[in-house]
């Protein structure tokens, strides 16, 4: 596992389903912990089997892994993340907000878009927390399409906040979104920095069968 020779702080394991992302991410996290590092192993896959592999119950808060000092594991649960995100936005409105205003915001924060951004918010916290006590954070991601979407969100939402200064969205009232903007920008900076972040593409080799062409290949280029 050459990526552990000089590992970045953030390691993302991605690829299609069933190729071994969970096995490799868990093995890498254990190897780093065995080397004396403090490691957080993060699952962004709702169908993750990390709990069975490590013998723990995954939660939305770090859980220590038995038998592996220095290693903790966390699962970003979309439903739990959405509830926490909605409450933070409402609390940020302050005591001056009326019940009707809070009800309207609750309605705004009830769609699938909010669930996505809430999960992303949890993800951003891990990337933006420079004071974290973890030496390495290893991400066991969902299959490729979900992960590509997740990794594109910091730039997408940072651009949205920079170009919109009024109204509301599935993030909540724009007036309260400045509390997210700095975090999103920090997450984007971390993802864009090759000294801090590496993406390990996991794939399963498959044999390639070459079919004999009816005419020489050079004829196709004339």
What does the angle CA 118 – CA 184 – CA 62 come to, to the nearest 5 degrees?
Answer: 55
Q: Is the pTM of this model over 0.75?
A: no
Provide the pLDDT for residue 150.
Answer: 61
Q: Could you state, in chain order, the average pLDDT of each consecutive group of 10 residues for the chain (222 residues)?
A: 88 86 93 96 80 86 93 86 80 81 78 71 80 89 64 61 56 56 80 90 79 53 42
Angle at 151 between CA 183 and CA 54, to 5 degrees: 95
Q: Is 37 helix (H, G, I), strand (E, B) or coil?
A: coil
39 contacts 72 by C-beta, under 8 angstroms: yes
Dig out the tokens for 46 from the structure.
Answer: 């709702």
Q: Is 222 exposed, middle or buried (0-12, 13-18, 19+ CB in 10 A)?
A: exposed
Phi first, then psi, for residue 169 (nearest 5°) are -150, -170
Q: What is the pLDDT of residue 77?
A: 79
Q: What is the structure's pLDDT at 44? A: 79
Give the CB-side neighbour count of residue 141, counting CA atoms within 13 A. Answer: 23
Q: Please, what are the domains in the chain?
A: 2-78+125-161+173-221 (3.40.50.300)
């Amino acid at each position: 596992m050459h990526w552990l020779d000089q590992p970045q702080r953030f390691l993302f394991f991605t690829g299609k389903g069933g190729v071994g992302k969970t096995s490799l991410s868990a093995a890498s996290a254990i190897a780093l912990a065995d080397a004396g590092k403090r490691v957080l192993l993060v699952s962004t896959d709702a169908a993750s089997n990390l709990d069975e592999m490590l013998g723990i119950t995954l939660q939305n808060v770090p859980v220590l892994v038995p038998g592996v000092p220095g290693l903790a594991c966390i699962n970003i649960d979309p439903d739990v993340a959405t509830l926490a995100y909605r409450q933070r936005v409402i609390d940020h409105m302050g005591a001056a907000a009326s019940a009707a205003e809070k009800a309207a915001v609750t309605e705004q924060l009830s769609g699938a878009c909010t669930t996505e951004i809430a999960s992303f918010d949890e993800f951003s916290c891990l990337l933006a927390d420079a004071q974290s006590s973890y030496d390495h954070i290893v991400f066991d991601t969902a299959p490729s399409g979900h992960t590509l979407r997740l990794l594109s969100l910091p730039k997408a939402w940072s651009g949205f906040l920079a170009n919109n200064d009024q109204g509301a969205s599935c993030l909540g009232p724009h007036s309260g979104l400045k509390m997210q903007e700095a975090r999103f920008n920090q997450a984007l900076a971390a993802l864009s920095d090759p000294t801090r972040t590496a993406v390990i593409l996991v794939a399963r080799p498959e044999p390639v069968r070459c079919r004999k062409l009816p005419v020489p290949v050079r004829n196709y280029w004339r």
